Amino acid sequence: MSGNELLEVKDLSISYVTRDERIDAVRNVSLTLEKGSIHGLVGESGCGKSTLATIFLNLIYPPARLVGGSLRYFGGPSGEISVLELKAPELRRYRWKEVSMIFQGSMNSLNPVMRVYEQIIDAMIDHDYTFEEAMLRVDTLLELAGISKRVKNLYPHELSGGMKQRVNIAIALACEPKAIIADEPTTALDVVVQSQITRKLESLRRDLGLSILFISHDISLVGAIADKISVMYAGKIVEVGKAEEILNTPAHQYTIALLASIPTLKSVESRISGIPGHPPRLNTPITGCAFADRCSKAQNRCRTENPELESISGDHFAACFFPGGGSNS
């Protein structure tokens, strides 16, 4: 441990269990969010990113089931907290006061029959603010989120997608948390608004000292905002490192293929290639590397042995038997 950790997930596994099947959505994942940092979590749809996000507020409900692992929080007044062991009253105080969340889908995450100010003060009143205190903070929160205070009396249907997402940011900031889990905060927004939202999150990190876990399927977007990136595939973290290392010297073959599928303005001669095949089904046991059937470098051991995260250089780790061979520079 470096002493700079704020949230630490270790050896976490989450499955969806029904009478007919079991889906191992998160498989033995470890991840650290450091104080004052933006950590990007990237991977294609269905890889387990949003399921992992729910653990930070302990929002695991059936049919989801915590199979194993731990979550520790180091920013509380009493020191280290084991979040998954908190009782209901302690968990209530932890949520939104210590760690809050911007939920996926700004279009659908607001209550359509409540005015904006009502949705902002809701969490504050639940955390012992008086109505008067909460109302006094509404204008400040909207300003922090980069939106006019005039929208506080509007309903969600009167707002654009970008305005709704800024309201969600204001709600996440309501109780002055130390960390925000931003789950696909730019989904369904156009590229201009995406840029505005990411710049706003960057400024909040800088001005308020926030720690942010930024989750997205878009590695180029994550690369523009994150200090560190974890790449997730089929429920596992397959590569982690500083953003510049992941973008310029990717080691895992999935990361290399992911970056090769993104258009670049650096050269008109750059070739764009898709990733062949499909991710494995998570309702059947996976033997070996989950990416093996889509990987051009796969050999026999890739299909029979499970690669673990190993250091490539310094704090750059990859779970790949044949790392390297790709560059985005």
* Farthest-apart Cα atoms in the chain, separation: 66
% of the chain residues with pLDDT over 90: 82
pLDDT (tens digit per residue) in 135-179:
999 999 999 999 999 999 999 999 998 999 999 999 999 999 999
What was the pLDDT predicted at 269? 59
DSSP letter, residue 95: B
Q: Measuring CA to CA, which residue among 242, 267, 277, 271 is closest to residue 259?
A: 271
**For range 51-79, the mean pLDDT:** 93
CATH 3.30.60.50 fits 5-226, yes or no: no
**pLDDT confidence of 104, banded at 50, 70, 90?**
confident
**pLDDT confidence of 106, banded at 50, 70, 90?**
low
What was the pLDDT predicted at 250? 96
What was the pLDDT predicted at 294? 94
The pTM of this model reads 0.93
Strand order in the sheet with 5-17: 22-34, 5-17, 64-76, 79-82
- Answer whether 303's CB lies under 8 Å from 295's CB: no
* Cα 171 to Cα 110: distance, rounded to the nearest angstrom: 10
pLDDT score of 263 more than 80: no
pLDDT score of 215 more than 90: yes
State both tokens at 188. 């369904």
What was the pLDDT predicted at 1? 57
Domain extent listing, the chain = 5-226, 248-318
What was the pLDDT predicted at 266? 61
**pLDDT confidence of 261, banded at 50, 70, 90?**
confident
The helix or strand, by DSSP H or E, that contains position 206, with its residue range, turns out to be helix 191-208
